[in-house]
Amino acid sequence: MAHRFEIRKNKKGEFVSYFCYNSETIFWTEGYSSKASAKNAIESILKNGPKAEVVDKSAE
């Protein structure tokens, strides 16, 4: 599959959820003290992401 979530540890030892497409990181979450919290962040994105509003705040 070309896209996936990855859970990695940052330099502070926190767990971070990354969304990757092919070999490129598209976005990542804040750092969490537990792996379970990083997994919960992924579940929240999967559940709420498709319903999220798109807001364009760029200058026209």
Q: Which pLDDT tens digit goes with each residue over 1-59?
A: 689 999 999 999 999 999 999 989 999 999 999 999 999 999 999 999 989 999 999 98
Alpha helices in 10-55 (DSSP H): 35-48
What is the sign, positive or negative, of the torsion defined by CA atoms of 29, 18, 8, 6?
positive
Work out the widest C-alpha separation in the chain, in whole angstroms: 42
Residues of the domain holding 31: 3-47
Examine residue 56 and state whether it is found in any structural domain, yes or no. no
Q: Can you give the CATH number for the domain in which 10 is found?
A: 3.30.160.160
Examine residue 31 and state whether it is found in any structural domain, yes or no. yes
Between the alpha carbon of residue 32 and those of residues 1, 5, 22, 56, 58, the distances in Å are: 26, 15, 25, 29, 30
Domain count, the chain: 1
Examine residue 8 and state whether it is found in any structural domain, yes or no. yes
Neighbours of 17 (CB within 10 A): 24
